[in-house]
């Protein structure tokens, strides 16, 4: 079972969503308060039901928010970002060499985030 891990950084507080094996699936921005960070976790829980918008294919279909956007970064790696109903990014992934791995990351967020406990 996955979990949200809340941790302090040099500039604030953030969370990582980790899979049962301890791998980081998605991470948040750095928040200024723990309350804002916990609100971010709730937003991931609510919005992880979104569709997948694959921006790596030509003439991709634009989906409504909430959604996962799959894209390629400057290095050519595949990444996803989860956008809430209001269009704000609430979580992002690491870079994946293979698109299938990125898609598996999204599936893992959908599976783990709704019931994942919060560890501080």
Q: What is the pLDDT of residues 27-84, one digit of tens each?
A: 999 999 999 999 999 999 999 999 999 999 999 999 999 999 999 999 999 999 999 9
* pTM (global) more than 0.85: yes
- Total domain count for the chain? 1
In sequence order, the 6+-apart residues with CB closer than 8 A to the CB of 91 are 17, 26, 27, 28, 40, 44, 81, 82, 109
Q: How far apart are CA 13 and CA 28, in angstroms?
A: 9
Per the structure, the complete domain to which residue 49 belongs is given by 3-119
CATH code of the domain covering residue 18: 2.30.29.80
């Amino acid at each position: 079972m996955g979990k949200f891990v809340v941790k302090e950084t040099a500039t604030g507080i953030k969370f990582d969503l980790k899979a049962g094996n301890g791998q980081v699936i998605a991470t948040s921005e750095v928040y200024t308060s723990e309350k804002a960070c916990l609100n971010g976790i709730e937003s991931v829980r609510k919005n992880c039901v979104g569709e997948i918008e694959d921006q790596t294919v030509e003439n991709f279909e634009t989906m409504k928010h909430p959604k996962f956007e799959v894209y390629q970064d400057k290095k050519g790696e595949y990444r996803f970002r989860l956008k809430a109903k209001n269009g704000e990014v609430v979580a992002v992934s690491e870079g994946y060499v293979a698109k299938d791995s990125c898609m598996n990351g999204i599936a893992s967020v959908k599976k783990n985030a709704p019931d994942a406990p919060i560890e501080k």
